Amino acid sequence: MWAEFSLTHAWLIPLLPASAFVLISFFLLSSPWLASRLAIVAMGSSFLLALGAAAAVLTQGITVEAPFVMKTVWFSMPGLSVDMGVLVDPIAATLLFVVTLITLLVLIYSTGYMAGDPGYCRFFAFISLFAASMLGLVIATNFLQMFVFWELVGLCSYLLIGFYFFKVSAREAGKKAFMTTRIGDFGLLLGILLLQITFRTLDFAELAVKVPAYVAENGAASLTFIAILIFIGPVAKSGQFPLHVWLPDAMEGPTPVSALIHAATMVVAGVYLIARSFAIFSVLPGALTVIAWLGVFTALFAAFIALTQREIKRILAFSTISQLGFMMLALGVGSLTSSMFHLMTHAFFKALLFLGAGSVLHALHDQADIFQMGGLRKSMPATCLMMGTAVLAIAGIPPFAGFFSKDEILVAAAHVSTPIYLLASLAAFMTAFYMARLFILTFLGKPNPHNHPHESGLSMLVPMGVLAVLSVVGGIIPFAMGFGEWVRFGPAHHAGIDWAVAGASTVISLLGFALAWYIYGGGHTRSNDLTIKTGALYTWSFNKCYVDEIYQWFNRTFVGGLARLSFWIDIHALGAVVDNAWRGTGAAGSEMRRLQTGQMQQYAAVMLSATVVLVILLAALTGSLVKGGQI
């Protein structure tokens, strides 16, 4: 009964946090205790509804091909009719569960982490707004509704990254995030418009039928272009190369924000968009190839940079980019199941990693350089244990969560393309390496005498604990219960484990750990030597391959140049026109003024002459001059 209610009232899921946002913003900005409790209650209710919806999906047998849809006409005009509604299927149910759960845990964590911050209430309001936007995006029935919430999510990201608005770096990071995703949104919007023009509808269910039919008749070429345009949106939002540049800077926001938005929820919106419209992409092999190769390249690229970063959150940011690459790669090789599975497990362990990092930062008073940390396992045992769990999960060690999801991706890749499989495995190796590096340098070894850490409070540890448990069992349980039968596109995968691939990936991850232990275990000497020996490679990796610098140069040269040119044209070319207009008018006026002599008889004379001229003109025009006049 609860399941049935949740399904038909699924629109409440985004509405409750939205109401929390409104109430907090208008009434509760000066009552921290009330604001946080209201946000948590609203989110908790949404979580329960999400669970109910998931249960309904399971019990009523709702499938991806036959989703549950409830919609109403939003606006309708000739040539375009757009609905607003709720679409629930296994994919959406997965996301609903993940988003509401992680948001709830982050909210509880924030009551501890953000305590004492002057913007405490604003934080909870914005998080609620973000949750509402993300949930609205998840249940959208058509591209336009999704786009609206897509933009809203981007806005919330901007607000939350720039949360510490008094810091210049935070403001700049917020702007950078918004503008980079804007570029993606532009591509996405163009794609949506072209879709509307071609098919006259933006509804996912309708397009799922029309697009394959169209491609069967006309071939894939023109639609591939549209699909690539649509894909540009996820490239920016989900941090694929080359629009990934905003994610590392987004770490300027508070750590709970990084955990929620830039690890578990918002950045997966791009992956979700592709998954939601997979009916379109699956019949466009060209588009899928692009997505796959870009995904694997992003995975490698970001992992390469993460190898040398020193700030703890930055390592995690690049790790997120890399894992998003994996999710895109999975979609590109045609496996919706593994992509969504990895999305879910990644949410668990990445959020845990960020929350753990927040715990560490809180304890060390925002000392973020892992080379200045060390030995925290003695002073922060709970955090150490849980972070260790997350590291094992992300490295894909069985039976932790990441093993099952990453294994699925590698299997799917191996079936489709061996180069992609090999590159993905290399990225997995690097993932294990840099995560172990992070763990060793932070928690193992000798403590740094400058640091005086203490373990975090329960409000922070309990959510982390929940996530730790999920990082352990969140892979094996869905796997055993047939995740792949529900969340899929096309026929279901076999639920078995490919032992060859699984074995290989485990060995690779363990090798990564071993290498990290060799370099970083027991002091910094070996790592310093390695830094010097790898020289240019190290510099490239440490400076994020200079992508930001290239963009800055481009901006200065071209955009700046264009701006300067436009300014010059405005002042001199257009300005000349305007200047001449007013100068000319002034000059004409000065001359005409001389007519005003004040001499009455002159005025009379002028009027007289004018009258005579008029009379002669009239007479000439009406022909009286010629004909001699008739009365």
Contacts with other proteins, residue ranges (CB under 8 A): 593-594, 596-602, 604-605, 608-609, 612, 615-616, 628-631
Considering all CA atoms of the chain, what is the largest pairwise distance in Å, rounded to the nearest integer?
122
Query: In this complex, which beta carbon is closest to other proteins, that of residue 61 or of residue 628?
Result: 628
- Residue 311 β-bridge partners: 369
Nearest distance from C-beta of residue 622 to other proteins, angstroms: 13
The CB-of-581 to other proteins minimum distance in angstroms stands at 22
- Residue 586: CB minimum distance to other proteins, A: 14
State how far the Cα of 448 lies from the Cα of 373, in Å rounded to an integer: 6
Contact 455/363 with Cβ under 8 angstroms?
Answer: yes
Nearer to other proteins, 418 or 597 (CB): 597
**Which of 406, 324, 394, 381 has its CA nearest to residue 352?**
394
Interacting residues of 97 by C-beta distance below 8 A, sequence separation 6+? 50, 51, 54, 344
- Nearest 5 degrees, angle CA 82-CA 18-CA 203? 20
CB of 588 to other proteins, least distance (A): 14
Q: Determine contact, residues 136/227, Cβ cutoff 8 Å.
A: no
Q: How far is the CB of 179 from other proteins (least distance, A)?
A: 56
Give me the sign of the Cα torsion angle 539, 297, 347, 182. positive
Answer whether 250's CB lies under 8 Å from 335's CB: no
Give me the count of residues in the chain.
Answer: 631
For the bound state, the minimum distance from the C-beta of residue 598 to other proteins, rounded and expressed in Å, comes to 3
Of 213 and 607, CB closest to other proteins: 607
How many C-beta atoms lie closer than 10 Å to residue 518's C-beta?
A: 10
Token pair recorded at residue 123: 């934080």
> Taking the complex as a whole, how short is the minimal distance between the CB of residue 613 and other proteins, in angstroms?
10
Between the alpha carbon of residue 22 and those of residues 29, 38, 39, 86, 140, the distances in Å are 11, 11, 11, 22, 21
The nearest distance, CB 611 to other proteins, in angstroms, is 8
Beta strand residue intervals within 436-555, DSSP E: none
CB of 175 to other proteins, least distance (A): 55
Token code pair at residue 216: 């069967």
In the complex with other proteins, the residue whose CB is nearer, 30 or 596, is 596
Sequence-ordered alpha helix ranges (H) in 543-574: 547-554, 560-568
Taking the least distance from each CB to other proteins, the nearer of 525 and 630 is 630
Looking at beta carbons only, is 169 or 585 nearer to other proteins? 585
How near is the Cβ of 151 to other proteins at its closest, in Å?
A: 60
Task: Choose between 217 and 591: whose C-beta lies nearer to other proteins.
Answer: 591
Nearer to other proteins, 169 or 611 (CB): 611
Distance between first and last Cα of the chain: 100
Q: How far is the CB of 553 from other proteins (least distance, A)?
A: 59
Among 159, 168, 152, residue whose Cα is nearest residue 237: 152
Dist. CA 498–CA 479, nearest whole Å: 13
- Least distance in Å: CB of 562 to other proteins? 47
On the question of a cis peptide bond just before residue 242, with omega within 30 degrees of 0, the verdict is: yes
Give min distance, CB of 606 to other proteins, in A.
10
How far is it, in rounded angstroms, from Cα 135 to Cα 50?
10
Among candidate residues 151, 113, 147, the one with its CA nearest the CA of residue 130? 151
Going from the C-alpha of 252 to that of each of 153, 154, 225, 304, the distances in angstroms are 17, 16, 36, 22
DSSP H or E segment with residue 75: strand 68-77
Of 500 and 604, CB closest to other proteins: 604
CA distance to 78, 141, 230, per residue, from 490 (Å): 35, 20, 22
Choose between 480 and 625: whose C-beta lies nearer to other proteins: 625
For the purposes of burial, counting CB atoms within 10 Å of the CB of 366, is it exposed (0-12), middle (13-18) or buried (19 or more)?
exposed
What CA–CA distance (Å, rounded) separates 274 from 510? Answer: 32
Q: Which of 557/597 has CB closer to other proteins?
A: 597
User: Helix, strand or coil for residue 541?
Assistant: helix
Q: 550 vs 619, which CB is nearer to other proteins?
A: 619
Of 30 and 630, nearer to other proteins (C-beta) is: 630
Least Cβ distance, residue 583 to other proteins (angstroms):
19
201: alpha, beta or left, given left = phi > 0 and alpha = psi -120 to 50? beta
575 vs 629, which CB is nearer to other proteins?
Answer: 629
Neighbouring residues of 167: CB distance < 8 A, sequence distance ≥ 6: 252
Secondary structure, 3-state, 395-407: HCCCCCHHHHHHH
Closer residue to other proteins in complex, CB, 381/629: 629
Smallest gap from Cβ 626 to other proteins, in A, equals 11
